[in-house]
Amino acid sequence: MTNIAMTSSESYEDALGVKMCDHMLIMPFRPALIGRTGFLHGGAIAGLLSLACDRIVGDDAWCFTSTFQFLRGARQGDLHAVATIARGASIATVNAMAWQDDERRPVASACRKYRLT
């Protein structure tokens, strides 16, 4: 795996190359994202899911727990992610899903809990 190097002025989103398109995030494939031969690194996948969750909850919250489920190998190719939120009085639960070619065949999902401020 090629390491993803970040500069001090670069965001994590920029380091992963994540783009916003309509209601979803897209992480275009590039060789720096490879983990085992032919597949995306799990950390990059988790990073994309985390960014999708953080984006939907906004800046007025902080995450206190995260759970990631890796459902199948993500091969070399673009990765898409979308998140949904359920807000309570002081806690928000955010679920995100990542897929490649078919949204009905996710490669990973995440559930993150946030304390609302």
Over the stretch 39-94, which tens digit does the pLDDT of each residue have? 999 999 999 999 999 999 988 899 999 999 999 999 999 999 999 999 999 999 99
Q: What letter would DSSP give residue 90? A: S
Of 3.30.930.10, 3.50.50.60, 3.10.129.10, 3.40.50.2000, which CATH number belongs to 16-116? Answer: 3.10.129.10
Q: How does residue 9 score in pLDDT terms, banded at 50, 70 and 90? A: low
> Domain map of the chain by residue range?
16-116
Express each pLDDT in 24-51 by its tens digit: 999 999 999 999 999 999 999 999 999 9
Calculate ∠ Cα 85-61-84, nearest 5°.
Answer: 10
Quote the CA–CA distance of 72 and 92 in Å, as a whole number.
Answer: 27
Residues 6+ apart with CB under 8 A from 50: 63, 66, 96, 110, 112
Q: What letter would DSSP give residue 59? A: S
